[in-house]
Chain A
Amino acid sequence: MYYPEPISKLIDSFTKLPGIGPKTAVRLAFFVLNMKEDDVLDFAKALVSAKRELTHCSVCGHITDQDPCQICTDASRDDSVICVVEDPKDVIAMEKMREFNGRYHVLHGSISPMDGIGPEDINVPDLINRLKDDKVKEIILATNPNVEGEATAMYISRLVKPSGIRITRIAHGLPMGGDLEYADEVTLSKAMEGRREL
């Protein structure tokens, strides 16, 4: 099928999004053509500013438009507990459940030798630095309950153990092999309650 270049570029851009195949991309592209120009402009601006104005918090690694992020600067939160997650989406899932009032640390991935990802490639060294602060008494390892997430949690716990900081692993009320992101709030809060010592 031949499309004029501007539309084939748009189709190509849509296919880069997760869950969007070639057919859906074509549908979305043609939908955009029929949108009002103002709406299209707002849409384009929103895309660019989401990318440009958001950075990673220099303390915890969460996505934010101010550095340090709102969670890190919130004085009412508990400094003594850090919850370690793989992805910013995990922070959002935890925040939705409103039961955790400590700080976060976002790794942006998990250790996977197969993909060439070692501890230095995810935010582990930063985490170790944060733990030098005496205020931290406990870390909760809430990496995904799959092979890589489990290995990452075990790895961190071995590094941290000598420091005497309490280390807990989020309990598996979660679907096995599943991602934290997809866990509903009930399972997630159960998992927080039943966390086990590592």
Chain B
Amino acid sequence: MHIKDLTLTNYRNYPSLAVEFDPKVNVIIGENAQGKTNLMEAIYVLAFTKSYRTTKDNELIAWDQTFAKVEGTLFKRNYHVPLEMQFQAKGKKAKLNHLEQKRLSDYIGALNVVMFAPEDLNLVKGSPQVRRRFIDMEIGQVKPVYIYHLGQYQKVLKQRNHLLKDLQRRKTTDTTMLSVLTDQLIEHATIILAKRFLFLDLLMNWARPIHEGITQHKEILSIAYDASIDIDNDADVDTIKQRYQAVFEQNQQKEIDRGSTLYGPHRDDLIFYVNDRNVQTFGSQGQQRTTALSLKLAEIELIKNEVGEYPVLLLDDVLSELDRYRQSHLLHTIKDKVQTFVTTTSVNDIEHETIRQARVFHVENGSIIKQEGDKS
């Protein structure tokens, strides 16, 4: 799949932009703070209905404006699919084929995007939250119903934590409601965990050979799911459910004492191993970066395998962060298959051959001032 064109209205520092992209490589060049990341973010928003940089949709609206709009034409399975996201103070709208989608899970998944930004180099080293977001976003875009369960889970979790606080402070003694919310939580937790196990297995199968390739067969990558409950990574739905039920039953008092939900997917983490050593604790910075790179490349293949087409790849400021060897490995992998957007402050940071084949956009202060290499 690829994005044919993009139109921005009052989006961040873009008052009005209409641009046509190359189906293969697009390079966005500009000084700092001119709007390169904003452009990448707009594409991401078109795919996921929200930004990865902020949880506040309002920040996407240009200052002094009341609404923002991102429109794009997606080319997928030989069809043109118009996508549109609108943001206003009172909420957002997602339109697919000009039709508003009430449930965001009906919208997400139309456009598949894999984003690789400097923050992603933190995937291994960063907080568990970073890894949970990674796994949730990736499953969500191949299995949109996952997003529904995740949303429901968050709601139940919030209610349950409030009730646990009330019980802790003895504002109520009604544990019937707690057991209701526990059952509700387990419903969604079970589905989420089962889907994560499945996804991780697939991801590892793709990531391992890629990682071996980048390291010239010196490193074997494996991934483990570190669950907040004691459970095998290949457990089936029934086993997971029973396990959750037992854990919540045994720890009810403990949870009341702490006034918070101590088990569930919101407490889980991923652990990466290279040659059986934990990369987070023992890996060099280079090994951690290679791991992040392998995972991102694996994601691309995984989406292709699940969805039938390659996703769009966004590389914001990362090429310059990778050494020549990893850079060319990355570019070689995506070559001719994946529509790619690359940002940079200087052409010198990018392999010459890639630039030569790309469509290049010069960004300055929220507009595209020059465009080169328009061959297609």
The chain A residues found within 8 Å of chain B, CB to CB, are 111-114, 118-119, 147-148, 150-151, 154-155, 158-159, 175-177
Contact = CB atoms under 8 A, between A and B. Distances in A.
B159 A151 contact: yes
B159 A148 contact: yes
Interface string B144-176: 000010001001101110110010000010101
A38 B177 CA distance: 53
B176 A159 contact: yes
Given A112-B159, A119-B177, A158-B179, 15 more contacts: A113-B160, A113-B166, A114-B158, A114-B162, A118-B172, A147-B152, A147-B155, A147-B184, A148-B159, A150-B184, A154-B183, A155-B176, A158-B180, A175-B102, A177-B103
A24 to B, nearest CB: 13
A43 to B, nearest CB: 28
Contacts, number: 45
Contacts of B148: 176
Contact of B103 (A112, A155, A176): A176
B181 interface: yes
Interface of B: 102-103, 148, 152, 155-156, 158-160, 162-163, 166, 172, 174, 176-177, 179-181, 183-184
Interface of B is mostly: helix
Contacts of B176: 155, 158-159
Contacts of B160: 113
The 3 closest A-B pairs by CB, nearest first: A113-B163, A113-B162, A147-B155
Contacts of B159: 112-114, 147-148, 151
A159 B175 CA distance: 12
20 contacts: A111-B177, A112-B159, A113-B166, A114-B159, A119-B174, A119-B177, A147-B152, A147-B156, A147-B159, A150-B184, A151-B180, A151-B181, A154-B184, A155-B176, A155-B177, A155-B180, A158-B176, A159-B176, A176-B148, A177-B152
Contacts of A113: 159-160, 162-163, 166, 177, 181
Residue of A111, A113, A159 with most chain B CB atoms under a 10 A cut-off: A113
A158 B176 CA distance: 8
Contacts of A150: 184
A158 B183 CA distance: 12
Given A113-B163, A151-B159, A118 B184 contact: no
Contacts of B172: 118
A55 B280 CA distance: 64
Given A113-B163, A154-B184, A158-B180, A118 B174 contact: yes
B177 A118 contact: yes
Contacts of A154: 180, 183-184
A118 B166 CA distance: 11
Nearest to A118: B172
A148 B166 CA distance: 17
A45 B163 CA distance: 43
Nearest to A146: B155
A57 B259 CA distance: 38
Contacts of B184: 147, 150-151, 154
Contacts of A147: 152, 155-156, 159, 184
Contacts of A176: 103, 148
